[in-house]
Chains A and B, each alone.
Chain A
Amino acid sequence: MRGCSISKEESSLVEGKSDTILEGKGICKGFPGVWEHLILDHIDIDVRAGEIHTLLGENGAGKTVIANCLSGFYMLSEGQIYVKGKPVTLKSPRDGIRHGIGMVHQELALVKPFTVAENIALGLPTSDLTFPLPEVEDRVRELSEKYKLYIDPLARVEDLSAGEQQRAEIIKVLYHDPEILILDEPTSLISADAEHLFEALNSMAEMGYGILFITHKIKEALEIGNRVTVLRLGKSMGTRETAKTDKTELVKLMFGEHTPAHLERKPVGSKRVVLEVRNLEALAADEEPALQGVSFSIREGEILGFAGVSGNGQSELAEVITGLRRATKGEVIIHGKDYTNHNPRDIIRAGVSHVPEKRREVGVIEPMTVAENVVLKDIRVSPFSKGSFVNISRVTAHAKEIVSRFGALVSDLWKSQTRILSGGNIQRLILGRETWRMPKCIVAVYPTQGLDAKAIDHTWELFMRLREAGSSILIVSEDLDEIMALSDRIAVMSNGRIVGMFEGSKANREEIGLMIATGASGSEHSQ
C-alpha cells in the first residue's frame, strides 16, 4: 500500500518541479535564559520539490535549530510554517512526519545489535507483538535500490560503516514517505563515504523530493544543491543560486568582514627547515613498536598536520620530538642541530613549545596555582626570577596578561589550585604559556579537543598568526576538518608509519579519509 502511495505522490512532484513544498516565514526561536538574543531571528526559508537546498553556517549559527523547528522537534517562538501553501503548526516530530517532513539528525539513533529492518520496525506505530518484519525488509530493499542507498535490511547496524549507518538512518526516515528530507550535518560523521551520500541525495532530488541539506563546509555547499542559504548568528544572510555564487561570496556571507585567517593563507615563503625528523623509531609504553621509520620536515612558517585515528603513533611522535620519550632509532634535528634523545629542557631551550595531549596530567601541575602554572617553564629565566629568587610581582603581572589575552576564566592567580579550572580553561592557559613567546617551533597534540566552537576559532586563528610570524607547527588532530583547515601539508599516520603525505591545497578529503580508515597507501611501498 505504501509503495503505491509513494509512486503516486512522486509523479505529482515530478510534474511541479519548482513547487514550494515547505516554507518557513519569519521564524523566530529563543530559549529561556538566552532571550537577550534570538537563536533564530526572523528567518525566511523555503524548500522546493526536486531541489537540494543547502543551509550553510558556522557552528552556532542556528542551523540545527531551524531543522528542529521545521521538523516539529521545537515549537516556534514566532513565525509560520507552510506545507504546500497551507499554514501548519507542528507540535511534535510526529506532526512533522504526518505532513511529510522527515529529519535525519546529526547523531544517529540506531540500536546497534539490531538489523536495519529491526531498527525501522522499532519506530513504526504498528509495531506490537506481530512485528511486521518481512514487510519492512522488503520495503527497505526497495527504497535502498530506488535511491542507490545500498543498504542490506538484514545487516546488523554495528557491522555497518559510519556512512552506511547514516544511509540506514535515511532509509528509516524515508520509510514514512516524506516529501521533504532534512539532513543535519550528515557529513560530520562520515568522511570517506560522502560521495555515496551525495549520489543518493541527487537521485532523491531527481525523483521529486525536497531536500534541506545542512552543513558548515563551504566546499560541500558548492558541490551539492541548487540553492544555498547562509546563516550567521541566527540571521539569514540571504539565499543564492549555487551555480551563481562562489567561495569568496559565501565566506563573506558566513563570516562577515571578519574572514577566518585559515581561509586566506599565503603560501609558505621560506625554505628553511626548522624541524626535521629522520627515520624515527620508538617504543610505546607496552614495549611494542610505536613509530617505524618516520621521516618528515617542517619549514619556517609551515603547518604540518598529522591526521589519523589516535593511537597510531602520533602521541609517541610528539613525545619523542619533545624529549619525553626515547627514540630507539633515527634523528630529531632542530635548526640543523641533532636533538635526538636530549632532555626536555634542552629542547625547550632550542625553542620548541609543546601543547601536550594530556593537559591535566602533563600540561599543568594541578595542585599548584594558576600563576605558578603560567610560569611553569619560564620561571627559571629573567625577569620571572632573579638569581634564584622568584620575582613574584613580575610573575603576577605576566600571569594576569596571559590569562586575559587567552581568555582563560580563573577565579584568582595565587590562591586556588589549577585543578578547579575546566578543561577548556586549562587548555587556554597552556596555549597561552606555550605560544606567548612566538616560539620557533610548536608541537600541538589535539589542541582543540573539548573546546567550544568559539574557542576552537580562536585557537585556529592563533595558529595561523603564529604561522604568519614564522613558527613551524606540528599539529596532531583526529578532527579532519581541523587538519584540512590549518595544514600546509597533511601527513596520515597509521600503525606508527606515515602512510601518506599531501599538499594541503590539493588534499582530497575522501582520499585522506579512506587512507585513515584503511591505513593503506601507495607510499608505503616506496619507503
Chain B
Amino acid sequence: MGFSGNLDELKKTIIAGVIGFAVGALIMMVYGYDPISAYRALFNGAFGDLYGFSESLANATPLILTALTFAIGFRGGMFNIGAEGQLYLGACAGVTVSLFHLPFATGFALGLILAALAGAIWSLPVAILKATRGVHEVISTIMLNWISLFLAFYLVAEILVDPLRAEKTISIAEGARFPVMVPGTSLSYAIFISLGAAIIVYILLWRTVIGFDIRAMGYNPLATTYAGIERWKVILFVFITGGLTAGLAGAVHVMGRPPTYAIYSGMPSIRGLGFEGLAVAMIGRNHPIGIIISAIFFGGLMAGGRMMQLFAQVPLEMVRVVEGAVVLFLAIPELIRLFSFLRTMGTLHIFRSKRS
C-alpha cells in the first residue's frame, strides 16, 4: 500500500554506498593504508564466513529494534530519539526477572514483556508532554535519556549487581535466555524477535488504520486534522510502539547475547545502540525491510571493522573514519528529506504557538 519507488531508493542507496566506500578508500590511501586489503578484511570479517556473518547478524539484532523506534516516529512526522534511554531500562528489566527464580517459560516471557513495558513507560512522558503541552520530543527524549542512563547505572551497580563479580549484573537465568543459533558465535534466536518486530511494524504502517493515520500525519499534519484524525492518539501510539521496540532491544541484547548474558557496569556494549538505530533507520529509508538490510550492513561494519584492524593493520580510529564516511554518504538522501522535514516542523511549531 503506497510504497512505490523502492527500487529507485535501492539504486540511490547503492550509488551512495559506492561513493562512501570510494571516499573511505581515498582517506586510507592518503594516510598510507592499502584500501583493497582493508576492504577485503572488512568484507571477509562481516560476510566472508559463517562466523563473520553470524556476528554481523548478532550485532544487527538490537539495531533493527532501535531503528524501528525511530522509523515509526519519523513516518509520523516525529523525531523520536528516545530509544537510547528506553533501551537501558529494557535491558535492566530483562535482568530484573532473573532476580527471582521463575520457571523456564515464565521467566523468558516475563523478561521480554517487562522489558518492552519498561521502554513504553519511559516513552509515555514524551508522548503526554507533546500531546498536551506541545513539548518537542527532541528535548524531552534527550532529558529522559540522561535520567535513564543514571537510573540504569544505579540499578546495575546496586540492585542487579552480581554479588560475586561487582563489575557486572547477575546473568540471565539459564531458562530465560535465547538459545544460541550458531554455536561458537554471538548469534541467538533473538534475531527472530527483531525480524518479527520489523514485519509487524511493516503491517502496522501499511495495512492498518492507525498506520495510515501515522503516515498521513507525517506527511501533512494540517490535512490530517482536516480529515478528522486525532493528533494525540497518533502521538501516543507512535511513542508507545517505539518504546516497546526500544525496550525489547534492551532485552534481546542481554537475554540473547552470549556469552555473559549480563550488563557490565558502565554498559559499554549497550550504550550507543539507540543512536546507532537512528543511523540504521536513516540508511534503511525508515522502511522496516530497508532497516533489516541496513542493520545487517551496520552489524557487518562492526564485525568486519575488527578484522580490518587485525588483518590490514588499519588502526581502530581509521576504521571508524572509514565507517563514518560510508554511513554519511548512505544517509545523504534521507538527510535531505530530514532537513526539509525539520523545516516544516519548525514552521508548524510557530503556527501552533500563535494559535494557543
| A binding-site residues for B, Cβ under 8 Å | 285, 287, 322, 324, 326, 343-345, 347-349, 354, 356, 361-369, 371-372, 376-377, 379-380, 385, 388-390, 392, 414-417
B355:A356 contact, CB within 8 angstroms: no
B209:A385 contact, CB within 8 angstroms: yes
B1:A392 contact, CB within 8 angstroms: yes
Q: A392 CA to B212 CA in the complex, in Å?
A: 12
One of B87-95, B108-116, B223-231, B266-274 contacting the partner:
B223-231
One of B38-46, B214-222, B301-309 contacting the partner:
B214-222
A388:B208 contact, CB within 8 angstroms: yes
A365:B219 contact, CB within 8 angstroms: yes
A389:B228 contact, CB within 8 angstroms: no
Question: What residues of A have a CB within 8 angstroms of the CB of B230 in the complex?
Answer: 343, 345
A390:B219 contact, CB within 8 angstroms: no
Chain B nearest CB: distance from A141 CB in Å? 54
Interface of B is mostly: helix
B219:A367 contact, CB within 8 angstroms: yes
Take A324-B225, A368-B2 as given contacts and tell me if A379 and B209 are in contact as well, using a CB distance cutoff of 8 Å.
Answer: yes
Q: A380 CA to B208 CA in the complex, in Å?
A: 10
Point out which of B2, B208, B229 has the most chain A C-beta atoms below 10 A from its C-beta. B2
Known: A345-B229, A365-B224, A369-B2. 13 other contacts (CB 8 A): A345-B230, A349-B228, A361-B220, A365-B220, A365-B223, A366-B219, A369-B1, A372-B2, A390-B207, A390-B209, A414-B1, A414-B2, A417-B4
Take A364-B223, A388-B208 as given contacts and tell me if A376 and B1 are in contact as well, using a CB distance cutoff of 8 Å.
Answer: no
Q: A366 CA to B2 CA in the complex, in Å?
A: 12
Question: What residues of B have a CB within 8 angstroms of the CB of A347 in the complex?
Answer: 228
Question: What residues of B have a CB within 8 angstroms of the CB of A389 in the complex?
Answer: 207-209
B228:A377 contact, CB within 8 angstroms: yes
The 5 A-B residue pairs whose C-beta atoms are closest, nearest first, are: A345-B228, A348-B228, A369-B2, A365-B220, A376-B227
Q: What total of A-B pairs shows CB separation below 8 Å?
A: 83
B220:A390 contact, CB within 8 angstroms: no
Q: A379 CA to B1 CA in the complex, in Å?
A: 13
A363:B226 contact, CB within 8 angstroms: yes
B223:A326 contact, CB within 8 angstroms: no
Binary contact track B334-356/A, C-beta < 8 Å → 1, others 0: 00000000000000000100110
Q: When the two chains form the complex, which single residue of A343, A363, A388, A392 contacts B223, counting CB atoms closer than 8 Å?
A: A363
Question: What residues of A have a CB within 8 angstroms of the CB of B222 in the complex?
Answer: 361-362
B228:A372 contact, CB within 8 angstroms: no
> Is B210 close to A, CB under 8 A?
yes
Question: What residues of A have a CB within 8 angstroms of the CB of B216 in the complex?
Answer: 365, 368, 372, 376
Return the chain B residue nearest A433 by Cβ. Answer: B227
Chain A nearest CB: distance from B134 CB in Å? 15
Q: A174 CA to B260 CA in the complex, in Å?
A: 100
* 11 pairs, A vs B, C-beta closer than 8 Å: A322-B226, A324-B225, A343-B228, A345-B228, A362-B222, A364-B223, A368-B2, A368-B216, A369-B2, A377-B228, A390-B1
Chain B nearest CB: distance from A471 CB in Å? 19
Q: A343 CA to B226 CA in the complex, in Å?
A: 9
Question: What residues of A have a CB within 8 angstroms of the CB of B224 in the complex?
Answer: 365
Q: A376 CA to B223 CA in the complex, in Å?
A: 9
Chain B nearest CB: distance from A177 CB in Å? 58
Question: What residues of B have a CB within 8 angstroms of the CB of A366 in the complex?
Answer: 219-220
Question: What residues of B have a CB within 8 angstroms of the CB of A415 in the complex?
Answer: 4
Return the chain A residue nearest B229 by Cβ. Answer: A345
Question: What residues of B have a CB within 8 angstroms of the CB of A367 in the complex?
Answer: 219-220
Question: What residues of A have a CB within 8 angstroms of the CB of B2 in the complex?
Answer: 368-369, 371-372, 414
Q: A344 CA to B223 CA in the complex, in Å?
A: 11
Q: When the two chains form the complex, which single residue of B4, B209, B219, B351 contacts A380, counting CB atoms closer than 8 Å?
A: B209
Take A343-B230, A345-B228 as given contacts and tell me if A361 and B223 are in contact as well, using a CB distance cutoff of 8 Å.
Answer: yes
Question: What residues of B have a CB within 8 angstroms of the CB of A369 in the complex?
Answer: 1-2, 4
Chain B nearest CB: distance from A356 CB in Å? 6
Question: What residues of A have a CB within 8 angstroms of the CB of B208 in the complex?
Answer: 385, 388-390
Question: What residues of B have a CB within 8 angstroms of the CB of A388 in the complex?
Answer: 208-210
Question: What residues of B have a CB within 8 angstroms of the CB of A343 in the complex?
Answer: 225, 228, 230
Chain B nearest CB: distance from A83 CB in Å? 59
Take A345-B229, A354-B226 as given contacts and tell me if A379 and B355 are in contact as well, using a CB distance cutoff of 8 Å.
Answer: no
Q: A368 CA to B212 CA in the complex, in Å?
A: 10
Question: What residues of B have a CB within 8 angstroms of the CB of A354 in the complex?
Answer: 226
Q: A375 CA to B250 CA in the complex, in Å?
A: 38
Q: A285 CA to B2 CA in the complex, in Å?
A: 34
Return the chain B residue nearest A325 by Cβ. Answer: B355
Return the chain A residue nearest B220 by Cβ. Answer: A365
Q: A345 CA to B224 CA in the complex, in Å?
A: 10
Take A361-B220, A372-B2, A392-B1 as given contacts and tell me if A285 and B226 are in contact as well, using a CB distance cutoff of 8 Å.
Answer: no
B215:A344 contact, CB within 8 angstroms: no
Return the chain B residue nearest A375 by Cβ. Answer: B212
Chain A nearest CB: distance from B135 CB in Å? 21
Q: A389 CA to B224 CA in the complex, in Å?
A: 19
B226:A324 contact, CB within 8 angstroms: yes
Q: A114 CA to B349 CA in the complex, in Å?
A: 46
Which residues of B (205-260) have their CB < 8 Å from a CB of A? Answer: 207-210, 212, 215-216, 219-220, 222-230
Question: What residues of B have a CB within 8 angstroms of the CB of A371 in the complex?
Answer: 2
Q: A376 CA to B210 CA in the complex, in Å?
A: 12
Point out which of B2, B216, B227, B229 has the most chain A C-beta atoms below 10 A from its C-beta. B227
B219:A377 contact, CB within 8 angstroms: no
Question: What residues of A have a CB within 8 angstroms of the CB of B229 in the complex?
Answer: 345
Question: What residues of B have a CB within 8 angstroms of the CB of A390 in the complex?
Answer: 1, 207-209, 212
Return the chain A residue nearest B222 by Cβ. Answer: A362
Question: What residues of A have a CB within 8 angstroms of the CB of B212 in the complex?
Answer: 372, 379, 390
Question: What residues of A have a CB within 8 angstroms of the CB of B226 in the complex?
Answer: 322, 324, 344, 354, 356, 362-363
Question: What residues of B have a CB within 8 angstroms of the CB of A326 in the complex?
Answer: 355
B4:A416 contact, CB within 8 angstroms: yes
Take A343-B230, A388-B210, A390-B209 as given contacts and tell me if A368 and B225 are in contact as well, using a CB distance cutoff of 8 Å.
Answer: no
Question: What residues of A have a CB within 8 angstroms of the CB of B228 in the complex?
Answer: 343-345, 347-349, 377, 380
Q: A270 CA to B210 CA in the complex, in Å?
A: 40
Q: A369 CA to B216 CA in the complex, in Å?
A: 11
B215:A368 contact, CB within 8 angstroms: yes
B223:A285 contact, CB within 8 angstroms: no
Q: A326 CA to B224 CA in the complex, in Å?
A: 17
Q: A468 CA to B256 CA in the complex, in Å?
A: 67
A372:B207 contact, CB within 8 angstroms: no
Q: A168 CA to B228 CA in the complex, in Å?
A: 52
Point out which of B208, B226, B228 has the most chain A C-beta atoms below 10 A from its C-beta. B226
Which residues of B (179-216) have their CB < 8 Å from a CB of A? Answer: 207-210, 212, 215-216
Question: What residues of A have a CB within 8 angstroms of the CB of B207 in the complex?
Answer: 389-390, 392
Question: What residues of B have a CB within 8 angstroms of the CB of A379 in the complex?
Answer: 209, 212
Q: A367 CA to B5 CA in the complex, in Å?
A: 12
Q: A414 CA to B5 CA in the complex, in Å?
A: 12
Chain A nearest CB: distance from B223 CB in Å? 5
Question: What residues of B have a CB within 8 angstroms of the CB of A324 in the complex?
Answer: 225-226
